[in-house]
């Protein structure tokens, strides 16, 4: 059974801090890894990572995949209160099954 573990479970920082969220996985025939941000209700897509070592960047957010370590990190620099959310990591295997981690709850205080 595929498994995705995110750490930390929750995190409280102050505006301006930089945070690093972790995602590790055990997947049969890994295909891709996805990051989502979930505020209030519905998750919104952030990144899809397929190749190891290639950083994807969107504004203050960036993410990189390490297939050797079976992990990915999501970095957020100069955090803002609007970054407060649950961040979800998910992996897709070659059998087209999608497995989500339990999420990291980030709270950014003013």
Partner 1 sequence: DAGITQSPRHKVTETGTPVTLRCHQTENHRYMYWYRQDPGHGLRLIHYSYGVKDTDKGEVSDGYSVSRSKTEDFLLTLESATSSQTSVYFCAISESMVLAGGPNEQFFGPGTRLTVL
The size of the interface with partner 1 (CB under 8 A), counted in residues, is 22
Q: Is residue 48 a contact point for partner 1 (CB under 8 A)? A: yes
Q: Is residue 96 a contact point for partner 1 (CB under 8 A)? A: yes
> According to CB under 8 A, which one of 21, 85, 90, 108 is a site residue for partner 1?
90
Of 14-22, 53-61, 77-85, 98-106, the window that binds partner 1 (rule: CB under 8 A) is 98-106
83 three-class SS:
helix
Tokens of 87: 């961040």
Bridge partner residues of 85 (DSSP): 106
Cβ at position 46, least distance to partner 1 in Å: 9
Q: How many residues does the chain have?
A: 110
Beta carbons of 29 and 95 less than 8 angstroms apart: yes
Whole-angstrom Cα distance, residue 69 to residue 71? 5
State the residues that interact with partner 1 by CB under 8 A: 4, 31-32, 34, 41-45, 48, 50, 88, 90, 92, 96-103
């Amino acid at each position: 059974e595929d498994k995705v573990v995110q750490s930390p479970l929750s995190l409280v920082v102050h505006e301006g801090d930089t945070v690093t969220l972790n995602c590790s996985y055990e997947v049969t025939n890994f295909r891709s890894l996805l990051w989502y941000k979930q505020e209030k209700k519905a998750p919104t897509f952030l990144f899809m990572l397929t190749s190891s070592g290639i950083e994807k960047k969107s504004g203050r957010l960036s993410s990189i995949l390490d297939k050797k370590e079976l992990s990915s990190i999501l970095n957020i620099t100069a955090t803002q209160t609007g970054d407060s959310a649950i961040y979800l990591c998910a992996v897709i295997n070659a059998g087209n099954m999608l497995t989500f981690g339990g999420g990291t709850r980030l709270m950014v205080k003013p």
